[in-house]
Structures are given as structure tokens and as C-alpha cells.
Chain A
Amino acid sequence: MLDAAAYTALALSLKVSLIATLFSLPVAIAVAWLLARRRFPGHALVSALVHLPLVLPPVVTGYLLLLTFGRNGAVGGLLDSLGIVLAFRWTGAALAAAVMGFPLMVRAIRLSIEAVDPKLEEAAATLGAGRWAGFARVTLPLIGPGILAGAVMGFAKAMGEFGATITFVANIPGQTQTLPSAIYAFLQVPGGEGAALRLVLLASGVAIGAVLLSEWLARRMAARIGA
């Protein structure tokens, strides 16, 4: 029932979202830990910066990405000389999706870190575990459900991301045309409503499936850590 264009859009969306989630998750854990467990000058500023994509119009975020990571941008130029191009490529779509999902990930993970009693980390230290070992053996397993929740939110956000993506990498079929972009494109042409509706159902199915999967995983994890 899916035509080739729809199938391509779905595959691209899944690829973009998975890559975006995978790469931003470790950074999100580190930033969440920093915000939850450390007090430093500029704490509020870092927190505000992380949340910026949540409150800015997506088109503004996309434009800022274009300014920074475009071929003539500060970072984009540097990457260009290394042979890495983000603008108008699927990698750029992944970057846009990662940036837009980042605040949601950090929020979920930060909350779960704050729920872990720091006294448990102290106990780990008195048993000989250094800071990293204590984090890996005590905090990390205990925040597993939070990390999962953050990852699912980030993935769902990436699957649905539209404004920043279309601004940064446009809407090139097979290259940067994700599911939302494809829906938008179908709605722009006469007689495209049928195809758009099928894509809408598909996107909803993926989203619901992701949430169900995460619920199931979270329950298993919670049982395993005895929470």
C-alpha cells in the first residue's frame, strides 16, 4: 500500500531519528548529570541554553543551524574543509532532530538523576569506587528508566521534527525528506490527500509503537532495579 516515495520517507525518518537519538544520548546524560549534581558559575546559563530549542520557534532554530553549520557558517566551514557537509544532507536532518529533542532528553534524565539519593554515591565512594565507577555501578543502573524515557522522547521528537529540519536541510526527496516533510509535500499538490493520510497513519503507528515498547521496557527495568 506504500508507494516508493512514502517508503523512502519512512526509512529516512527512522534513520535520521535513530542516529540523532544515539549520538545525542551520551551528551544528554553528561549534561543532565552536570546540571543535577554540580554547582558552577553559569549553571543557569547552561540550563537556559539547553532549553532554548524548546521555546524558540523551530524555524528560528533551523535558521541558526543554517548560519552555524551551513557551508559558510563558522562551524560548517570548518567541517567543510574536513569533507563533512551537513546543510541539505540527511546528516543535517539528524543534527536538527538531535538539537530539537535534546532539551526533552536532558529534562527526563536530569529528573531521574535528581531522584537518586546522592548518599548512595557516597556509600559507593566509601567502598572504594571512584567517581566514575560509582556513577557506572550505582547511578547509571538506577537512572536506566529515566534514560529510556529520555531516549523515547528524543526519538519521538526527532520523528515529528519539521520546522527546523525544513529550514536547515530543505525538503529533498530521498535526501532530506522525512515523514513530516513528505506529508507537507503531499498536501501541497492536488490529489495528494490520500497519500498524506497514509503517511499520517504510518507516523502515528510508529509513535504509538515506540511509546508501547518503552512502557514495556521501563516496567522490566523497574522490576530489575527493584524500584
Chain B
Amino acid sequence: MSLQVDIGHQFDDFALEAAFTAGPGVTAVFGASGSGKTTLANAVAGLLTPDRGRIMLGGDVLLDSDQGICLPAARRRIGVVFQEGRLFPHLNVADNIAFGARYAPRGAPGPDQDAIIAMLGIGALMQRRPRNLSGGEKQRVAIARALLMRPRLLIMDEPLAALDGPRKDEILPYLERLRDTGTVPIIYVTHSMAEIARLADRIVVLGRGRVLRQGDVTDVLSDPAMVPLIGVREAGSVLMARVVECYPRGLSRLETGGGDLRLPGITAEVGKTLRIRVLAQDVLVSLVRPEGLSSRNILPAVIDDIHRGDGPGVALSLRIGSAKLLARITADALEQLALRPGLECYAVLKATAVARADIGG
């Protein structure tokens, strides 16, 4: 099931002109507020009719302004999880999640109701009213409701933005579970790099109504040219790492495409593959293998690409084996060390720099 979008829409103060594709898995639509993310999501869902454009989903035309085709939202079979949940206040949880089931075509693929309820852990909430649910519970019910109408595509529009930190951590494992079942392609709209690093396979970067970049998350996030768009504090690459050994005192050894890492606070068992987000500002670059350093995570690397911005910082992408790492250093350091593409060096990352929240399954 693939989605192809090419639309243009003029607002009073800004114009959206965006084209992107999305395939199976999770495609993140990333951008600052006002970049047009929600407009794009609404156009795909059928909640907004753009001035011009064409939207195709798995071979079906949802929108074609040239031919005057615009399928109403009710007939697109695209589930939407909104930021505020939008549960129906007059219905209990059981009736909320059953709302769309009657519109699903007979024999439409997807897990059955019991499996969805179990996956989202909402079995005990069935008789409750939405007003008696916590923010995280509301979002889990909203996801179940969207899945039960057997959507061909699931759009999640900033589903965690209204939740506080602990609630986000509570719901992220459910989203990972949903992604791993692979039942439905997901468009995940967000301005949070941490969520993208944990969940997304592909990313579409929006800025002022334009698509600035799209591609695989690991490629786009390790591209030094992306640092100004993502923000210097948020920029960082994603490493796929497999847990190979757990030591006493809470340290684990993980295998990545570029060598082993020793990290604390990993709760996953041996053999599990995790995504690890390493912020560019937490990576040091050394020309010689450092001795007597407290960090145990020193990986041989080759400088791949250098991006100089307007500020004092410089972003580097480092190739470590088959993986890529993003580092941010000062322009001063770049000159004194005479760093250039192709140069061999060592990437040093501090074990504690990898925050718990940035480790995803």
C-alpha cells in the first residue's frame, strides 16, 4: 500500500506546495509549528480540500483536482488519531471503539477486536466514559477506534503532543508494538525528533509549506546538512543496535554496524534489536585513539561529509562500519585538526549521553 501526494494550497498568509510518497511502515512528517504538517495530514485524510493536487492510495485516486475528483473523508478509509483524541463524550470506551467498525468492508484485513484491545492494553477501560480516562488512555482508545474501522492508512497527528513526559513514555511502547505488527502503514506527524528516532522508518521534512527532504530516517538524520533544519540541540543519528551481553551493575554490550557500544540502563533482553539515538552534540572526534579516557565507547570512523553553518558549529557525518554517526564540533576544532572528508579518526561517545527515552525497541 503506497501513498503518493502532490498538493498545493493557498492560505491567507502562507502557501503549501508539497509532494511526497510513503510506503509500508512509519513515515514521519516532521516540521516546526506552522510548517504545514497538519494541513498536509488533513488533505490526505479528506478533512481539507486543497486548491490543487493529486493524492493516490494503493492505486485508488483520493483526490484529482484536474478531474474534479475528491473522495469525502468518510469514503477514504484512512484512520486518524488526533492530538486531542476526539473521543465521543456520549459513548463509553466500548462504543467509541466500535463506532467505525460497521463501516469497515466485510473481510477487510487486520487484527480482530480482541487483539487490538490486548495490544493497546485497554481491556479494563471498556465501560468507562472518555472524561474518566487519563490523557494516555484516551490516546490508546483513539488508536483502537481508528484501527477497528480497518483503515488502509493510519494518520497520527501529533498524538503525544498533548501529553506530559511520563505519559509519553507510557504510550510509546504501544506505538512501537503497533509499528511492529505492520498491519497498516502509518503517517506520523510530529515536531519531536525523539519520537521520530524511536518510531519512524522514513521521514519527510517540511519547512514553510515545502518538502525540504525525504528519505530513510537513518540517512536523513545522519546528514550534516539537516542539522540547521532539525535544530543543533535536537540533531542526532539513529543506530540500530542488538543487545549481545548484559553485565552486572546494569551495563549492556550492544552490537552496531560500526562496532560495539557499552551502555547503561538497557532493560531489553539479549538478542533484541534496539534503536539508539545519539545526539550530535554528544559525539567527540579524535584523530588518535584516546588513552586513559573514561568513555568506553570509542569507534574507528571515517569522515564522510562536513557541513558548515552560519554559526560557530560544524556538523560532521562519520562512517562507522556500515552505520553513520552525526557529530557536532566547533569550526575552530575543525581547522586545528584539519578535518576533511575521507580522513580516518575516532568517534567517542559518552555512555550516559544516550538517554533512556531515546532508546526504543
Contacts and interface: CB of A to CB of B under 8 A. Distances in A.
B224 interface: no
Contacts of A138: 88, 90
Contacts of B77: 128
A126 interface: yes
A227 interface: yes
Contacts of B90: 138, 141-142, 224-227
B149 interface: yes
A130 to B, nearest CB: 5
Interface of B is mostly: loop
A114 to B, nearest CB: 16
Interface residues of A, number: 23
B131 interface: yes
A125 interface: yes
B68 interface: no
B186 to A, nearest CB: 14
Interface in A91-140: 117, 119-120, 122-131, 133-134, 137-138
Residue of A122, A127, A142 with most partner-chain B CB within 10 A: A127
B238 interface: no
Given A127-B145, A128-B149, A129-B100, A120 B47 contact: no
Contact of B73 (A117, A125, A226): A125
Contact of B129 (A128, A133, A142, A226): A226
B103 A129 contact: yes
Nearest to A221: B90
Nearest to B151: A126
Interface string B98-109: 011011100000
Interface string B126-170: 000111000000000000011001000000000000000000000
A133 B75 CA distance: 13
A219 to B, nearest CB: 15
A8 B359 CA distance: 81
A123 B130 contact: no
B89 A123 contact: no
Nearest to A127: B100
B197 interface: no
B108 to A, nearest CB: 11
A133 B100 CA distance: 11
B72 A120 contact: no
A76 to B, nearest CB: 42
B99 A126 contact: no
Interface stretch (B78-86, B255-263, B317-325): B78-86
Interface of B: 45-47, 72-80, 82, 84, 86, 88-90, 99-100, 102-104, 129-131, 145-146, 149
15 contacts: A119-B86, A120-B88, A122-B73, A126-B46, A126-B47, A126-B74, A127-B99, A127-B100, A127-B145, A128-B100, A130-B72, A131-B74, A141-B90, A142-B90, A226-B131
